[in-house]
Amino acid sequence: MENKEEYSWSKYIKDYWYLLSGKRTKFVFFTILRSLSNLITFAIAFCLAKIIDFFTNYQASMPLDTFYWFVGAIAILGAFQVWLRFFSKIKMQTIAADMRKETRLLAINKIMSLNLKWHEKEETGAKIQKINQGGESVYKGLKDFSNEGISVLVDIFGALFLFLFLDIRYVAFALIYVCIYFIGEHYYNKKLNYWENELNKIKEKVSGKIHESISNILAVKSLGLGETIGKNAESYEDEYFKILFASYFGKLKGGLDEFTNTIGNFISVKSGVGRFMTILDIDTIEDESRLKEFPENWRKIEFKEVYFKYKEQYVLKDFNLTINRFDKIGVVGESGSGKSTISKLMLKLYKPEKGKILVDGIDLNEFNQMSITKNMGVVLQEPEMFNLSAIDNITISATKADKKVLDTAISLSQLKPVIEKLPEKLNTLIGEKGYQLSGGERQRIGLARAIYKDSQIYILDEATSALDSKTESLIQEEISTKLKNKTLIIIAHRLSTLKEVKRILVLEKGQIVESGSFSDLLKKKQKFYQMYKLQNRN
């Protein structure tokens, strides 16, 4: 949307109405109240004109009842106007604050539903900027509409409407004035809209580099011109009409000047909402609720003639693989050979460009992703850490902690020495991204998290690469005994860690070029042998 077509005002209004879902009745009601409070200004102006009219023709013998009546009307109308403005303003700002919160949650939920391919393409900072800016733009848009927009529209259209009751010449004059005014503003606002969009793009790029939100977007305001009210009327009719005309034209002129200021703000808001909607407008691939549950008692997973490309380059080509339940499979290969892509395809984070992944003969795409991830535990080379306690990072996938499973996870991952060093043991906050821990310690927590999940399939993607050889060896021993009834796929850089694995796959340019046990592959003296020899020499 952001590149192919301009984000129009009609689309902005339509999107805003969508975001108002659940609050539309309140919005319309308080908009009417706010408009009524502005219309009262015209009634007060009418009363003032009547008072001036009264004194223009006043004679000593005339009673002052008319004067008192209009003064009283002005006082009552003024008090009612103040109450209406205050009440409607508070209510509108409450709606705006709720919209800001709900808009951000809507975007976060949408982002969570999008596939990994989209996330890898979009910069993290740009996503954060769009969400934050979108929420603020929605809030500011409604606040500006309530505080200024309604007043501007009522002033302009109210004045034009009331001119009809004065003289058609005044209407013609006002319309000519409005046309000239808007012609001058049109070119300026068009340029402003373009530069607001460019500014927002730059902000998103900056956010992508520094990963933090920057200051609010530019709000451009124009200066209005003063207007002098006509004086010294010559006759009763002229005096009466000129007083009303001056009052109403002053409202029209002030409204147009304020419109210039307000439209600058709304262009800024419109740009923010437009770029925010690029997230909500992304088509969600499928309705996961209609898909099947991944079978807990599965027997066989097959890759059949699978092709997958990343950034226009194939990382898997005509890839075929059969994984039987309880298999222990090692996967090795040079960087870019497609090792990690296998695990992402199994988790349905990616989908094959061609070919199929079958689970007991059923296409993996027919299973919902939640049930797939429930049955597969993944440990990455750089496991994601949350700014929570150590125990929360381990048990994050469960609704409640299980002491027995937790002890098993800590034992298998050799995490106990790490926990003993922490000031509050398992309750120690590990900081954002786990900055208080070393790379090896983070890997151990990542491994403990996967073990605690108690999945059917474990995918270890260079999960122990940051550990010393002694700790890595201890973990390998624990895995071979305690996970013997699980299916293991071990993606390894250090080939020596795969000595006990029965089947090792050697990948090169997205295809399996060798397969066999550790000793068999060394005997062949081909690709695996060369890699092993190179590692030992280094």
- Residue 476 has, within 13 A of its CA and on its CB side, a CA count of 21
- Report the pLDDT value the prediction gives residue 121, as an integer from 0 to 100: 63
17: exposed, middle or buried (Cβ count in 10 Å: 0-12, 13-18, 19+): exposed
**How many CB atoms are located within 10 Å of the residue 465 CB?**
17
> Which tokens in the block code for residue 402?
């299980």
Q: Is residue 36 part of a domain?
A: no
The reply to whether 249 and 384 lie within a common domain is no
The reply to whether 256 and 388 lie within a common domain is no
Phi-psi category of residue 37: left, alpha or beta, with phi > 0 → left and psi -120 to 50 → alpha: alpha
- Report the pLDDT value the prediction gives residue 226, as an integer from 0 to 100: 26
pLDDT tens-digit profile, the chain (538 residues): 444 456 676 777 787 777 788 888 888 888 888 888 877 877 777 777 677 766 666 666 666 777 778 788 888 888 888 888 788 888 887 888 787 777 777 777 676 666 666 666 666 666 666 666 666 777 777 777 777 667 666 766 666 666 665 555 655 655 565 555 555 444 444 544 454 454 445 444 444 433 332 222 222 222 222 232 223 333 333 443 444 444 444 444 455 455 555 555 545 555 555 655 655 565 555 556 688 888 888 999 999 999 988 777 888 888 999 999 888 889 988 877 778 888 888 888 888 889 999 999 999 988 888 888 888 888 877 777 777 788 888 887 765 667 888 888 888 888 888 888 888 888 888 877 777 788 888 888 888 888 888 888 888 887 777 777 788 778 887 887 888 888 888 888 888 888 888 899 998 888 889 989 888 888 888 888 888 888 777 5
Q: Is residue 64 part of a domain?
A: no
> Which tokens in the block code for residue 265?
């703000």
* Residue that is last in its domain, among 280, 311, 344: 280
Query: For residue 107, which of 312, 338, 287, 277 has the smallest C-alpha distance?
Result: 277
Residue 300 belongs to what H/E stretch?
strand 300-310
* Residue that is last in its domain, among 231, 262, 280: 280
The residue segments making up the domain with residue 364 are: 290-537
The reply to whether 458 and 423 lie within a common domain is yes
The reply to whether 373 and 229 lie within a common domain is no
In this structure, are residues 54 and 70 in contact, taking their beta carbons and an 8 Å threshold? yes
The reply to whether 229 and 334 lie within a common domain is no
Distance of alpha carbon 213 from alpha carbon 137, whole angstroms: 14
Strand-pairing partners, residue 319, are: 306
Distance of alpha carbon 79 from alpha carbon 241, whole angstroms: 27
Q: Is residue 33 part of a domain?
A: no
The reply to whether 393 and 424 lie within a common domain is yes
- Report the pLDDT value the prediction gives residue 59, as an integer from 0 to 100: 62
Distance of alpha carbon 534 from alpha carbon 360, whole angstroms: 39
Phi-psi category of residue 219: left, alpha or beta, with phi > 0 → left and psi -120 to 50 → alpha: beta
Q: Is residue 3 part of a domain?
A: no
Distance of alpha carbon 224 from alpha carbon 180, whole angstroms: 15
- Report the pLDDT value the prediction gives residue 302, as an integer from 0 to 100: 93
In this structure, are residues 224 and 257 in contact, taking their beta carbons and an 8 Å threshold? yes
The reply to whether 258 and 385 lie within a common domain is no
The reply to whether 241 and 307 lie within a common domain is no
Q: Is residue 78 part of a domain?
A: no
The reply to whether 315 and 179 lie within a common domain is no
Rg (CA), the chain: 35
Q: Is residue 385 part of a domain?
A: yes
Domains identified in the chain, total number: 2
The reply to whether 419 and 507 lie within a common domain is yes
Q: Is residue 76 part of a domain?
A: no
Strand-pairing partners, residue 307, are: 354
Question: Any idea which residue has 């147009």 for tokens?
Answer: 256
> Which tokens in the block code for residue 520?
């068999």
The reply to whether 403 and 275 lie within a common domain is no
Mention every residue, 6+ apart, whose C-beta is less than 8 A from residue 139. Answer: 96, 97, 99, 100
The reply to whether 268 and 295 lie within a common domain is no
Distance of alpha carbon 140 from alpha carbon 135, whole angstroms: 9
SS3 letters across 88-134: HHHHHHHHHHHHHHHHHHHHHHHHHHCCHHHHHHCCHHHHHHHHHHH
> Which tokens in the block code for residue 407?
């002890």
Q: Is residue 81 part of a domain?
A: no
- CATH code where residue 351 lies: 3.40.50.300
In this structure, are residues 96 and 264 in contact, taking their beta carbons and an 8 Å threshold? no
* Residue that is last in its domain, among 280, 308, 327: 280
Distance of alpha carbon 204 from alpha carbon 214, whole angstroms: 9
- Report the pLDDT value the prediction gives residue 170, as an integer from 0 to 100: 57
Task: For helices 65-113 and 124-144, give the axis angle rounded to 10 degrees.
Answer: 160
In this structure, are residues 308 and 352 in contact, taking their beta carbons and an 8 Å threshold? yes
